[in-house]
Structure 1
Amino acid sequence: MIKQNDILKKIVHTEDYLNSFFLERETLISLLLLTIFSKQNMFILGKPGVAKTELVNQASLMIKNARIFRYLLTKYTTPEEIFGSISLGKLKEDRFYRKIDNKLADVEIGFIDEIFKGNSSILNSLLMIANEKIFINDNEVVNVPLISLFGASNEIPDDEEMEELQALYDRFTIKYIAEPIKDFRNFSRLLLSGDKPAPVADSMLLDLDELSIIYDESQNITPDQDILNLIYKIREYCYENNHYVSDRKFRNTVKVLKVCAYVNGRSSIIAEDLFIMPYMIWEKPEDFLTIKQDVQNILFDHIFNSILSKISIRVSDSFAKFLDDLILSSNNNYNEYTKCYSYLKPKQKEDLIIQYQLIREYLYKISRIVEHLEAEILSYEAKQYLRVNRLIHQQINLTINNKLAEFVSYKNKLDGLNEKIQSTLHEGD
């Protein structure tokens, strides 16, 4: 019997192995593996020479007995090159039957480079293979063994061309923009590295049965209402900002999130898993960074308020503005009223007392927030297997620390105001 822990060890080994050779590709490698584990399709955008083809090829070699079909499309590519030549024997029987052996409809992993360059007959057949996992051969419906189709391109077609290609483009649940290596040390390592990584021990390869286990067991995970609400909130954000995401894409996204939870050793989806959603939402490359930042803000706010909900305090978007206004007005009034409290009119006294009470109230709240965040940071050590989740975990930790620093700053300011106004009120007595 295959155990989940044994599979997870192989996944960690696979990631570490690929990352040891493909530098600055941590997120891409995690997303590529999630694509395969969730039986989805992935599109990689990038200039020539950023290892798109080689990475997909090497990842497929990490799956025992998985067959891969690779092809570079041009406007002259014929269906025979992708789907197989016509059987002359069948043609004599008036049948238009293709010999599909070792072609796209006969493998587990497909990689089509310059995928938008194909003609309509090729692209239409790709639609059914990519989504329904079937191929119409003459009048026969063939169930293809394809697990994932990877498409790549150096560029995105213009809006007019994309209208015709939208159906195919939407079949790619995950999309990634690959860029050249940026770090000097990694670039130096690249120049000194060999052409291929060292071979992997057969015992550490994932096999097709294990891929089936990952998919089947992960799909038993049911998102709770909190996660469904978050996904809906992200969907609303997309619609409000004219980022079209199909219902099919959201449905497939949930399949990926289930796998993400499973391969991180969890039986439930958590908000951290949703940080990969920007890679499933963007359509135009120029929108990606904005979408990523906006979705992260939605998720950070949710995680932060979930932490504070344990002490029954909610921090809305206007909370910081309220504190800034309170500190500013209190400082102004203090400077105006200081040392002459006994001569103030009743209304001025009342204003200062109200502000003093507000400062005391919010000083108490912020002191509790600071204490809780400090404790949360110490206990916030979720175990993550996939590197993309470890990177997300680090980012969340950093954000919580930044929030903590922000509230410590507010606490110090309110402490100072509290002491000054309290002293002034006592002088008035």
Structure 2
Amino acid sequence: MVGAPEAHDTARRLRAISGELSERFYERADVVRTLVVALLAGQHSLVLGPPGTAKSELARELTGRVEGACYWEILLSKFTAPTRMFGPIDVAALARGEYRQVFEGRATTAHVAFIDEIFKCSTAALNETLGFLNERIYHPESGGTPIRCPLIGAITASNELPAGEDSTAIFDRLLVRIEVGYLADPSNFAALVRSAAGRPAAALRTTVDLGALQHAVATAVPAVEVTDTIVDAICTLRAALRRKELVASDRRWRQAVRLLQASAYLDERAAVAEPDLSILTHVLWSTPAQRPIVEREVLHLVNPDATEALELAETIEGIEVQLEAMAGQSREALSDWVIKEAHHQLARAGTRLQTLRAEAAGAGRSTTTIDRVSGRQRAVRARVLTEALGVDASMVQTHP
């Protein structure tokens, strides 16, 4: 890896932070890593999901790990004024006939930011918000020289996709887009309930220094090599997506390269490697319906284990759809279906997923997708056992 020993320490600290947050937030390991990579790349990210999925808590916990950084957070609404975001009017100065703003503690001085309900940005604040995210500048209310903002990256969150043209403009500026949902794995849900009922244990809290993070973003990450092999892979992926009528802008592809460099830096590698390409699954879609298509094309290129896992995911989802279609049928009919079809299909899928994970881990490939599909397999299996057979799934969920 290129850089001084301090660069290695920064990468190790960020990996430690990722590990600590992944242990605390169930089924969020890929989300955490992706947010860290986005911050290292100096890019903004969107966490998209329903209420109650720990979007805000996770963002605050991550951004709070940067020692010495000015942090800014806001919950937007259609009535949020630009001055509330970037600096209120100095009332004392106004009484003296001077018109100026107080910028301390606002977006204009922030190194890291969390913007909740980003797509509820008011029309009045739209241009200022776009300028803040794009160019890291703010034009004061009184005019004059634009203010340079020290923002490294912003994490944004929303419960829904943008609905209007104004919010679509903001959506386009968020390079990384991550979907989150409610916990799928029954064992993780049980662990969540237990953690809520007990006294939380003292958790490790690794931090990273602001200066070290800024050096990584400005110097160390851009120094990571992007080989011709990776360039060819990106071109191949672009062509594959175009054949499916999924077209990303040249700007988005260009910015994505820095994400690949940041991913390699986080793993202390001097050059981007094929596994780094997997982060593009969070970059190249515009609607949730497009995400599985992008994921399949990316993983087909870099991770054959994950590609097969996605095929198994279709089988698992099909079983859940069939279970819902059988609602209202007799317990006997449901039991017959489970014994003859569902149980064997889910068991085979679980066994194969375990094999794929072992093979991927042994080869040093990412197991993120396989783990996610395994969680769905356990969730669907638990639902089948409970709804169709009346069995307490928590007693048998350790088996495939």
Task: With the length of structure 1 as denominator, give the TM-score of the two structures.
Answer: 0.66
Other structure's SS at 2:78 match: coil
Report the equivalent of 2:262.
259
Contact 1:275 1:392 (C-alpha < 8 Å) held by counterparts = no
The alignment status of 1:242 with 2:219, answered yes or no, reads: no
Distance (Å, rounded) in 2 between the aligned partners of 1:196 and 1:44: 26
The counterpart of 2:79, out of the listed 70, 73, 76, is: 76
CA distance in 2, matches of 1:95, 1:275: 53
User: What is the rounded CA distance, in whole Å, between the counterparts of 2:224 and 2:294 in structure 1?
Assistant: 27
2:385 paired residue number: none
Which deviations, in whole Å up to 9, do the C-alpha atoms of 1:320-364 show, x marking residues without a partner? xxxxxxxxxxxxxxxxxxxxxxxxxxxxxxxxxxxxxxxxxxxxx
Is the alpha carbon distance of 1:96 and 1:116 closer, same or farther for their aligned partners in structure 2, counting shifts above 3 Å? Answer: farther
Following superposition, the deviation at residue 250 of structure 1 comes to 1.2
Q: Does 1:6 pair with 2:9?
A: yes
2:194 maps to 192
Change (3 A) 1:18 1:234: same
Question: Which residue of 2 is the match for residue 343 of structure 1?
Answer: none
Q: Could you tell me how far apart the structure 1 residues matched to 2:368 and 2:80 are?
A: 41
Cα shift at 1:242: 2.9
Structure 1 counterpart of 2:298, which letter? V
Pairwise mapping of residues 142-161 of structure 1 onto structure 2 (< 5 A)?
Answer: 142-158=147-163, 161=164
How many Å apart are 1:145 and its aligned residue?
A: 1.5
* Sequence identity percentage: 25
* CA distance in structure 2 between the partners assigned to 1:167 and 1:119 by the alignment: 13
Deviates more, 1:87-96 or 1:258-267: 87-96
Do the aligned residues in 2 keep the contact of 1:19 with 1:29 (CA within 8 Å)?
yes
Tell whether 2:368 aligns with 1:391: yes
Higher helix share: 1
Residue 182 of structure 2 corresponds to 180
Q: Is contact 2:274-2:302 (8 Å) kept?
A: yes
- Number of aligned residue pairs: give it: 312
Matched with 1:60 is 63
1:44–1:175 Cα contact (<8 Å) kept:
yes
Task: Return 5+ residue gaps in structure 2 as ranges.
Answer: 308-358, 373-400
Q: Which amino acid aligns with 2:211?
A: D
Q: Normalising by the residue count of structure 2, what TM-score does the alignment of the two structures yield?
A: 0.71
Once the two structures are TM-superposed, the CA of residue 49 in structure 1 deviates from its matched residue by 0.6
Contact 2:12 2:266 in 1 (8 A): no
Flag structure 1 segments of 5+ consecutive residues without an equivalent: 305-376, 396-429
Deviations 1:174-226 (A, max 9, x none): 0000111111111111112258773545xx31111221232211201231111
Given that 1:41 and 1:150 are in contact with CA atoms closer than 8 Å, whether structure 2 keeps it comes out as yes
Bigger radius of gyration: 1
Quote the Cα distance in structure 2 between the aligned partners of 1:379 and 1:183.
21
| Residue 132, structure 1, aligned to residue 135, structure 2 | yes
Residues 197 and 154 of structure 1: CA distance in aligned 2, closer, same or farther (over 3 Å) = farther
Offset at 1:3?
A: 2.9
Name the amino acid aligned to 1:175: R
For 2:144, give the aligned amino acid. Answer: N
CA distance in 2 between counterparts of 1:379 and 1:32 reads 23
- One-letter code aligned to 1:36: L
Q: CA RMSD in A?
A: 2.8
Q: Secondary structure at the match of 1:18?
A: helix
Q: CA deviation at 1:36?
A: 1.2
Q: CA, structure 1 residues 208+155, in 2 after alignment: closer, same or farther (shift >3 Å)?
A: same
Which residue of the partner structure matches residue 211 of structure 1?
Answer: 213
1:47 Cα deviation after fit: 0.5
Q: 2:38 aligns with which of 23, 27, 35?
A: 35
Change (3 A) 1:200 1:394: closer
Query: Per-residue deviation at 1:4?
Result: 3.3
Please give the alpha-carbon distance, in whole angstroms, between the structure 1 residues aligned to 2:29 and 2:303: 22
Distance 2:186 2:370 in 1: 26
Instruction: Provide the C-alpha distance between the structure 2 equivalents of 1:170 and 1:93, rounded to a whole number of angstroms.
Output: 42
Distance in 1 between the 2:190 and 2:62 partners?
23
